[in-house]
Amino acid sequence: MTFKKEFKKQMVPEWTEVYMDYECLKRIFKEIISSKEGNHRAAHFRSSQQRLSHETDSSGLHLQNGHQEGGGKIKEQVIDVNALEVDSSRQIYKTNFLNGHEEGEAETRFFRKLDEELNKVNTFYKDQVEAASHEASLLDKQMEALIALRIKVKNHNLDEYIGSTSAETILNNHQENASISGPEVNLVYHNIGNNHHGEEEHGNYKRNDTTDILDHETKNSTSVALDSKKEELSFNKEELRKVEGQLRLVFIEFYQKLLHLKHYSFMNLSAFSKILKKYEKFGNTKSKAASEAYMKVVDNSYLGSSDKVTCLLERVESTFIKNFYHSNHRKGMKLLRPKVKREKDRVTFFIGLFSGCIIALLVASILNSVTQHLMNRQEGTFYMENIFPLYSLFGYITLHMVIYAGNTYFWKRYWINYQFIFGFKPGAELGHREVLLLSTGLAVLGLLGFLVNLHLEMNRRDHNYMTASELNPVALVILVLLITFCPFNIIYRSSRFFFIRCLFRCICAPLYPVTFADFFLADQLTSQFQAFRSFELYICYYGLGEHSRRQSKCQSRGVYNTLYFIVGIIPYWFRLAQCMRQFYDSRDTNRAFNGLNYFSIIVAMVFRTSFELKKKGKTWMVLALTSSAVAALWNLFWDIVMDWGLLRRHSKNPYLRDKLAVPHKSVYYAAMVLDVLLRLSWMQLVLELNWRSHHKVAMITTVSCLEILRRGIWNFFRLENESLNNVGKYRAFKTVPHPFSYYEEHEDDKDD
C-alpha cells in the first residue's frame, strides 16, 4: 500500500481537513520534476565552462554561508525558515530563499504550501493538546473527589481520619477549596501537598506541572473535610459504584482522545518527512540541504517536540490501572486500548455457504409453486392471503439488513465514521460482512421454513402434516426472538443488546433523552410498518385460533381492524414523540417542524387505512390521496434539504452542498430523483384498483420492499451529512459527563 493510501486510511475522519495536505504537495512536487527535466534539457545548450559559483542551478535554490565539514563537503544553506510570533501562545513559520536569486515558481509554491500546512497542523495540534491538558486538570479534581468519596464510604466516622493529620498541616498545605456535587454528594476537600515528613514515607500528593496532573493513587494521604450535614448524604456503596462506573467511562474516552492526538502527530510528521525526502531524492545537494533544514524546523515545532500527550497517556494509564483495577495492568489496558477488529475467514465462508443455500431454496420454492399450479388452486389463494404475509416478515427484515450491510460498506469506503456517530463500542461494531452473515442466515431460515410449509401444504394427507404446516411460521418467529434476547455471549451479544436498548428507548419515547442511534432506529421502523402489521397478523392468526380452523376471518373482527389502524401508525408515533422530546430539551424549532412532518404521515396513514378497509366511495379516496400527497411532499423536502443537506442554491456544487463525501456528483442527483419516485410509489396503494387477492398481497409486498430500499438510500446520505457536520466542528469523540460538578468559592465567601 502506498503512503498516500495509508495516510488517508489512518486519518481521523472528523479531522481530515486539518491533516497535512499530502496530495496537494505531491502534485506540486510533480510540477517541480517536470520543471527540472525542462531545465536539464536546456542546460545542454549552455557553456559547461562556467564557474560553479555562478552557475544557475536547475533547482532554483542557491548557496549561502557554506562551511567545511568533516568529510570535506560544503554544508549548503539555501532557505531560512522564520518563526513569527502571532501572539504569546502562537507562532507561524515562513520560508525565505537566500542569496536573493530567483527561485523556480513550482518550488516557491511548494515551500509556501509547506509553510501553510505546517502552520495549520501545528496550530490545531497545539489547541487540541491544550484542551486535553485542561480536561486532564478536571479529571484531576474528579479523582480527588472520588478518593474522598471512597474514604467516606469506607470510614463512616471521617473525623477520626481527619484527626490523623494535624490541623496545622491542613492549613499550611491548603491549595484549593471547591464544592463538589455528585449523586447525593456535596464535598469540600483540601488537597495536601508537601509536608515536613517527606513524600515517600507518607505518600502525600503534590500538584506538579501539566504532565503530572493525573498522578494519583488511592493510597495517597489526601485530607478530606465534609462541609454538609450527614443526614443529607447517603455515601453508600451503590452510589460509589455508580460514580466509579461513570468516571471509568470518562477516563476511557479521554485516553482514546490522547491516542488519536499521538497518532495525529506521528502521521503528520511522517507525511512531512515523506514529501521532503521525495523532494530531496529528485534534486541535488541544494535540494538535500533545503529538505534537511525544513525537516529540522518541523521536528523542532510544537508538533514534533511536545511530549505532553505521551506524558498524559502514561499518567492516565497509571491512574486508571491503580485506582480502578487494583494495579492489574492487563485488565486495565484491555479496556483502555481499542480492540483491533480482525477479519475472520469463517465469516466469509458462511456468507458464501448461506448465499448458495438461498439461491437453491429460491429455485426450489419457485419450481414447487409452478409445478403444483399453486396460483390456480383455491389453496393458493388461501396461502397468499394468510401464509405468505407471515413469511414476508422475514423478507422485510432480511432486505433491510442486506441494505444496511451495503450502507456500512460504503460508509467505511467514503470515510464516514458511523461507529462514532452511532456510539458503538470500539471494536464491537458490526461491519458489512457480519451484517451480511446475519441477514443471509435469517434468509436461509425463512426460505427453508417457507419451502417446508409449501411442501406440507400442497401434499398434506393427515392432521399431523397440517398442524406442522400451520405452526412452522410462528416457530421460526419464536426462534429468532429467542436468539435476539439470548443473554449468553453468542451471536454478537453486545450488538444485540445495543439494539435492544435503542428499541426500548424508542418504545418509551418521549421519556428518555434522544440520541442519534435512537432516532435513526425509529426512522428505520417507519419503513417497516408493514412488518408491524405482519406481527398483528401473527397475533390474530395464532392467538385467536384461526390457524386451527384454517380460516381467514381476521379482517372481519372489529378488534383486528382497530389494531390495524394503531399498528400502522406506531412507528411514526415513536418519531413524533422523539421530536417532541428533542424540542423540549433543545428548544430548536426545527425539531417541532420535524414533528409536524411525522404528524402529517400519521394523518395520511389514518385516511389511507380507512379507505383500504372501508372502501366507501370517492370521498375516502380523495382524502387519502390528498393527505398522502401533502405528507409525501413535506417528507421529500425534509429528506433532501434538511436530512441530506442538499439543494443549496449558493453551493459551489450546483444544488448540492459545498462538501461531498462521494466524488461523483451524479450519485446525489440520482439519489434525489429516486427518493421522489420511491416516496410516491406507496401512493399506488391508495388507488382503487380491482386487484385479485393474491395480486393485492404481491403489490403490498413490492411497495413495502421499495420503501425499505428508499430508506437504505436515505441512510447513507443522512449519515454522510451528519459526518460532515462533525468534521466541520472536529467532533471525533463522545462527550461523557463527569460525575462531580465543581463550584469555585470566592474570597468574600471564605471571609464569611
Task: Please answer whether residues 328 and 321 qualify as being in contact, where contact means their C-beta atoms are separated by less than 8 angstroms.
Answer: yes
Is residue 607 a part of any domain in this protein?
yes
In this structure, how many other beta carbons lie within 10 angstroms of the beta carbon of residue 446? Answer: 22
Q: Which residues contact 117 (CB under 8 A, 6 or more apart)?
A: 20, 21, 25, 272
Convert 575-592 to b/e letters by CB count within 10 Å (16 or more is b).
Answer: bbbbbbbbbeeeeeeebe
Task: Please answer whether residues 218 and 318 qualify as being in contact, where contact means their C-beta atoms are separated by less than 8 angstroms.
Answer: no
3-state secondary structure of 188: strand
CA angle 390, 393, 397 (to 5 degrees): 165
Cite the DSSP H helix spans in 459-587: 463-484, 493-507, 516-526, 529-543, 546-549, 558-586
Task: Please answer whether residues 98 and 64 qualify as being in contact, where contact means their C-beta atoms are separated by less than 8 angstroms.
Answer: yes
Percent of the chain with pLDDT over 90: 36
Task: Please answer whether residues 79 and 294 qualify as being in contact, where contact means their C-beta atoms are separated by less than 8 angstroms.
Answer: yes
Of the listed ranges 90-99, 383-392, 464-473, the least confidently predicted one is 464-473
Instruction: Give 735's pLDDT tier (boundaries 50, 70, 90).
Output: confident
- C-alpha distances out from residue 701 to 18, 565, 694, Å: 48, 18, 11
- Residue 297 confidence (pLDDT) above 70: yes
498 closest CA partner among 431, 403, 422? 422
Of the listed ranges 37-46, 241-250, 649-658, 670-679, the least confidently predicted one is 37-46
Q: What pLDDT does residue 496 have?
A: 94
Q: Going by DSSP bridges, is the β-strand pair 90-97/224-225 parallel, antiparallel, or unpaired?
A: unpaired
Is residue 617 a part of any domain in this protein?
yes
Is residue 406 a part of any domain in this protein?
yes
Residue with the three cell numbers 432486505: 399
Sign of the alpha-carbon torsion through 396, 445, 457, 536: negative
Average pLDDT of the residues in 362-388: 75
Of the listed ranges 260-274, 498-512, 733-747, the least confidently predicted one is 733-747
Is residue 298 a part of any domain in this protein?
no
Between helix 693-729 and helix 666-681 the angle, nearest 10°, is 140
If you average pLDDT over every residue of the chain, what do you get? Answer: 78
Q: What pLDDT does residue 221 have?
A: 35
Q: Rounded to whole angstroms, how far apart are CA atoms 164 and 151?
A: 13
- Residue 108 confidence (pLDDT) above 80: yes
Tell me the backbone φ, ψ of residue 565, rounded to 5 degrees. -65, -50
- Residue 73 confidence (pLDDT) above 50: no
- Residue 752 confidence (pLDDT) above 50: no
Q: Rounded to whole angstroms, how far apart are CA atoms 283 and 96?
A: 19
Task: Please answer whether residues 296 and 269 qualify as being in contact, where contact means their C-beta atoms are separated by less than 8 angstroms.
Answer: no
Is residue 200 a part of any domain in this protein?
no
Average pLDDT of the residues in 41-58: 46
Is residue 503 a part of any domain in this protein?
yes
Average pLDDT of the residues in 556-564: 74
Q: Rounded to whole angstroms, how far apart are CA atoms 703 and 534?
A: 15
DSSP conformation letters of 395-451: HHHHHHHHHHHHHHHHHHHTT--HHHHHTPPTTTS--HHHHHHHHHHHHHHHHHHHH
Partners of residue 103 on adjacent β-strands: none
Q: What is the DSSP letter of 189?
A: E
- Residue type (1 letter), 633: L
- Exposed/middle/buried for 717, CB within 10 Å: 0-12, 13-18, 19+? buried
Q: What pLDDT does residue 147 have?
A: 87
Q: Which residues contact 746 (CB under 8 A, 6 or more apart)?
A: none
Sign of the alpha-carbon torsion through 135, 136, 141, 143: positive
- Residue 612 confidence (pLDDT) above 90: no
Q: What pLDDT does residue 534 have?
A: 86
Integer Rg of the chain from CA: 34
Q: Rounded to whole angstroms, how far apart are CA atoms 556 and 544?
A: 13
Q: Rounded to whole angstroms, how far apart are CA atoms 500 and 495?
A: 9
Q: What pLDDT does residue 188 have?
A: 42
Q: Rounded to whole angstroms, how far apart are CA atoms 129 and 29?
A: 31
Q: Rounded to whole angstroms, how far apart are CA atoms 97 and 62?
A: 8
Percent of the chain with pLDDT over 70: 73
- Residue 163 confidence (pLDDT) above 70: no
Task: Please answer whether residues 306 and 261 qualify as being in contact, where contact means their C-beta atoms are separated by less than 8 angstroms.
Answer: no
- Residue 100 confidence (pLDDT) above 60: no
The more confident residue out of 171 and 352 is 352
Domain hosting 619: range is 345-727
Number of domains in the chain: 1
- Which contacts qualify for 699-706: CB closer than 8 Å, 24 or more apart? 700/530, 701/388, 701/392, 701/395, 701/530, 704/392, 704/396, 704/530, 704/531, 705/395, 705/396, 705/399, 706/678, 706/681, 706/682
Residue with the three cell numbers 394503531: 566
252 closest CA partner among 328, 333, 183, 312? 333
Tell me the backbone φ, ψ of residue 547, rounded to 5 degrees. -65, -35
- C-alpha distances out from residue 582 to 449, 513, 588, 601, Å: 42, 7, 8, 19
Q: Rounded to whole angstroms, how far apart are CA atoms 569 and 549?
A: 30
The more confident residue out of 363 and 182 is 363
Is residue 321 a part of any domain in this protein?
no
The more confident residue out of 690 and 685 is 685
Is residue 564 a part of any domain in this protein?
yes
- Residue 200 confidence (pLDDT) above 90: no
CA angle 705, 709, 712 (to 5 degrees): 140
pTM above 0.75, yes or no: yes
- Residue type (1 letter), 694: H
Grid cell in block for residue 559:
378488534
Q: Rounded to whole angstroms, how far apart are CA atoms 628 and 568?
A: 14
Residue with the three cell numbers 506524558: 311
Average pLDDT of the residues in 48-58: 44
Tell me the backbone φ, ψ of residue 657, rounded to 5 degrees. -140, 170
The more confident residue out of 566 and 165 is 566
